[in-house]
Amino acid sequence: MARGWPNSSWSLLALMALVTGSGSTLSLAGQQGPPTFREAVDVIEVDVRVVTKAGVPIPSLAPSAFEVTIGGKQRRVVSADFVRYDAVAETTGAAPVDRSPAPTLVWQPAASTTAKAARGRIYMLYVDTDTFDVVNSRNILTTAASFVERLQPNDQIGLSVFPVGSQVDPTTDHKGVLSKLAAVVGTPNAAAAWEFALRPSEVAVLSTATGSPRPDPRAAQLAAALCSDAACGIRLRNEVQFMVQEYESQAQHQLHNIRALLKGMAPIPGHKTLVILSGGVPTTSRPGARPDIANIDMIAGQEAQRADTAIYALFVDWHGAQLNTAENRRGARFFTSLEDDRAMYRRSLDVFVGSSGGTLLTVLSGRGEAAFDQILRETSAYYVLGVEPAEADRDGKAKQLTVKVNHPGAGVQGSRWVTVPKRTVSPAPMK
């Protein structure tokens, strides 16, 4: 994630001896070795996670290993500081946690950066109960509770239950959060209870039958397979319209709520991680088809940058078994596939997470243990890059951000947007 550093902070950093051209590690173990001096320059912070394919953080990278562009233009990386928390406990079946010695801390960082490591990590759990049934919500929430239990004592964890439920600000009272989490239960809308038991992909196809500039050629065939008279056709059209409105309303409310949650998290100092648990809300990208929510998912993703928040979305794909059961009960329809349905359930989360530079994890079966293990590994450390923006970047508008790293097997996770604040003009001294 990225945010601007006030110019005033750099007078402090200059006094605290910043070093040009070398990386450093922030560790709760304290400072090792003599300080080295850096030049004081006007930079912004960019937070990124650099991990192996197994999700293990990679330490010891120098600023020269990073390539950063803002609005497509390369910018100089002045510093690369590795913020590392205590080692994460290994779990059965998880990739090994990197336990190599931390590199030497070569400079004393700004007080605000040191405080981040000292406070521990900050997590927020977001649970969309409308997208789960009772059984599957209990499965994933049991693992979420185990995730909370494995946090370090100084880690903070919050909880937000949508659309109705507990709202807990990040706190070190893990037991209090666990008690709230134990009361959360899924309450999905059952589309199969409707007359035609339409699958999401069938709704998208049929939505183009009337009034669409790009009708799907399968719409007429599917409608004919479902209805043989005009009265049935009217009921089918009404059901499609209702389901389209339900899906769009649910997706919009979900993303608006996530966006509001991110805005509420923005004032909390420090790097944060939002973990979303959702069964997905069907939307489509097919031109002329519905349910469609335009670019709300992308706008919501950009909000994460302003909140300095990393996003992990766990898409719990429990609908597949249900859809297979419904298909067997009513007889197979071959106009669309079950994979089309899965893609629709996943789409809005995929776009949201992609625009935020986050990670979408699909839970196909079980309780999602591997997904939570991955989150713990990848959030055990991150880099704070000091990036020197150009004057043209300082317009207060969101610009595309790319971060690449020159290291074998490394993957970079972080915001894809950056907003560089305008310079603050000091008033002229009175004569």
Per-residue pLDDT reduced to its tens digit, 219-263: 999 999 999 999 999 999 999 999 999 999 999 998 999 999 999
**Whether residue 397 sits in one domain with residue 273:** no
Are 163 and 101 part of one and the same domain? Answer: no
Is the pLDDT at 15 greater than 70? The verdict is no
**If 0-12 CB within 10 Å is exposed, 13-18 middle and 19+ buried, where does residue 286 land?**
middle
Tell me how far apart the alpha carbons of residues 384 and 45 are, in angstroms, rounded to a whole number: 6
- Residue 6 belongs to some domain of the structure: yes
Q: H or E segment at 231? A: helix 230-265
CATH code of the domain in which 268 resides: 3.40.50.410
Contact 124, 275 (CB under 8 A): yes
Residues 272, 268: Cα–Cα separation, whole Å: 8
The answer to the question of residue 426 being in a domain is no
Looking at the domain assignment, is residue 279 inside a domain?
yes
Residue 137 lies in a domain: yes
Question: Rounded mean pLDDT of 380-394?
Answer: 93
Q: Tell me what the pLDDT averaged over the chain comes to.
A: 81
With cut-offs at 50, 70 and 90, classify the pLDDT of residue 134. confident
Within a domain: 157: yes
357 and 403 assigned to the same domain:
no
Pair 128, 72 in one domain? no
Which domain range does residue 37 map to? 2-120+380-419
For the full predicted model, state whether its pTM sits above 0.85: no
Query: Which residues, in sequence order, are bridge partners of residue 418?
Result: 399
The answer to whether residues 96 and 197 belong to one domain is no
Same domain, 221 and 210: yes
8 A C-beta contact, residue 200 and residue 341: yes
Of 101-115, 272-286, 349-363, the poorest mean pLDDT is in: 101-115
Looking at the structure of the chain, the number of domains it has is 2
Asked if residue 428 is part of any domain, the answer here is no
- Residue at 425 is within a domain: no
Two structure tokens written together for 288? 């002329």
Helix (H) or strand (E) holding 343: helix 338-356
Between the ranges 56-70, 288-302, 309-323, 351-365, where is the mean pLDDT highest? Answer: 56-70
Does residue 160 surpass a pLDDT of 80? yes
